[in-house]
Amino acid sequence: MIRLLRTGVLLVVLALVAGACKFDGAYDLPLPGGPVSDDNSFQVTAEFQDILNVVPKSPVMVDDVTVGEVTDVERVGWHAEVTLRIKNDVDLPDNAVAEIRQVSLLGEKYVALEAPATGATGKLSEGDNIDLSDTGRNPEVEEVLGALSFLLSGGGVEQLGTITHELNAVMDGRTDRLRHLLGSLDDVVGTIDAQKDDILDAMDAVDHLTATLNGEKHTITSALDVMGPAVQVLAAQHDQLIAMLTSLDRLGAVGTRVIGRSKEDILKSLDHLQPLLQRLYEAGDKLAPGLNLLVSFPFPKEASEIVKGDYANTSIRADINLENIIPSGHDGGGLPPVIPDPAQTVDAVTRCLQSLDLQSKACQKVLDSVDLVKKLQQQCKRKKYDGNPVCTIVEALPGAGDGPLGGLLGGLTGGLLGRALIDGTPSPAPSPAALYGGTP
């Protein structure tokens, strides 16, 4: 009896094991009427985040036409990998998309394959894989009903009614204005869309600026810290700044009034200045030599070339004997003075002054005569000869003071210096005959 019981238990266990083996391999059994055969198909894989209740032998469809079936479902990490077998005559791009759908509201699930909306490339073939980014699924009926239940039970149905009522109140009697608003809104959106590239460039520029400011955050913070005391000083001197600006406004008004009233006088002054500028222009090349001689006095301009890079000294010695100049008077030993012709004197001095050059022949003749030198000094004191190069040098000669003795010594010294300036060597003292025009 015990042996029979053991035999029965063993048979039951063997039956269960055999039944289990047959159940696990049921999907591998060839079923009649399959959509594809191994000889006329190719195999691809698809990654799904959620496959719902898709199982092997579930159909694969393209445009609601069965073109294959699911052959295997495996878990890979946190998502599922589904193996699909598809007919060879199916023409799909290499980047096809897959989605789990259902035939009807309570129908079976299937895998739908279709081309992407844009950018189809290549052809789907043996061994290809459809990534997670290209797969998806439709919402389940239970999910839709659950969301509807949440909306109806504790959701915003009453709020929807209030919103609908208020929208009707807003739109009532304002149809034309709302239509115009929608048209304007369409134009605005169109303009924004047309300037999309510019907006993106502006946003990129703002992003770059923000990055730059972020990189210079320490510098900006330091500048703001330093700016605080400056702002406090400006705030403390607010009244003074206002007063200064008010004074500047009054100054501007007064300046405008002064300029307006003195405009005529300024124009007249410019008109009076025009003849002077014209005379300077007419002087032309004669003005430059005179200025050059004035700058280099008492040395000629060639003196700068004597010793380049060093300095030079000049020493002038004049031996003056008053007996040769002043006659004896009582004993008759002196020679009577010769009185020159006034016309010839004035003419010679005038020619010298008109030459504007102390080294001219006319001025050489004047410098040879004490009387002509004295006359030249007298003429140079006249206002009309102010600025004359000859007078500028003559007035600067030593001993050219007032008084009889000063004039006499000045004339003699002027003659000596004049000859020195012309010849480059000091002249001997003039004889009485040279001074009075007679013979000893």
Q: Which domain holds residue 87?
A: 34-141
- 335 and 424 co-located in one domain: yes
To the nearest 10°, report the CA torsion of 241, 243, 246, 252. -80
Do 423 and 345 have their domain in common?
A: yes
Beta bridge partners of 69: 59, 85
Q: Where a domain ends, among 113, 141, 169?
A: 141
Query: Can you give the pTM of this predicted structure?
Result: 0.33
Q: 151 in a domain, yes or no? A: no
Is 415 domain-assigned? yes
Residue 421 lies in a domain: yes
- Do 327 and 250 sit in the same domain of this protein? no
Task: Please tell me the distance from the alpha carbon of residue 209 to that of residue 73, in angstroms, as a whole number.
Answer: 52
Strand locations in 57-120 (E): 59-62, 65-76, 79-87, 97-102, 109-114
Over residues 60-87, the mean pLDDT reads: 92
Domain shared by 420 and 329, yes or no: yes
What is the count of structural domains for the chain? Answer: 3
Q: Say what percent of the chain tops pLDDT 70.
A: 67
In the listed set 120, 141, 162, which residue is the last one of a domain according to the structure? 141
How confident is the model over 112-164, as pLDDT tens digits?
999 998 888 999 999 999 999 999 988 877 777 777 777 677 666 667 778 88
Is 88 among the domain residues?
Answer: yes
CA distance 296 to 111: 111
Examine the pLDDT at 207 and tell me if it is beyond 50: yes
Nearest-angstrom CA–CA distance, 411 and 403: 12
Residue 212, domain member (yes or no): no
44: helix, coil or strand? Answer: strand
> CB under 8 Å to 192, separation ≥6 — which residues?
199
In-domain check, residue 400? yes
Q: What is the CA radius of gyration of the chain?
A: 62
Q: Is residue 148 part of a domain?
A: no
Please tell me the least confidently modeled range out of 100-104, 173-177, 207-211, 324-328: 324-328
Question: How confident is residue 22, by pLDDT bands cut at 50, 70 and 90?
Answer: very low
The owner of tokens 């391999």 is 25
Give per-residue pLDDT as tens, 384-428.
Answer: 888 888 888 877 765 554 444 344 444 444 444 444 444 444 444
Tell whether the model's pLDDT for residue 46 goes beyond 90: yes
Which one, of 20, 71, 14, lies nearest residue 44 by Cα? 71
> Is residue 40 in a domain?
yes
Residue with tokens 């001219």: 360
Is the domain of 133 the same as that of 53? yes
Q: Tokens in use for 155? A: 């959701």
Give the domain-ending residue among 257, 275, 304.
Answer: 257
Over the stretch 237-250, which tens digit does the pLDDT of each residue have?
999 999 999 999 99
- Higher-confidence residue of 271 and 16: namely 271
Query: Is there a single domain that holds both residue 41 and residue 121?
Result: yes
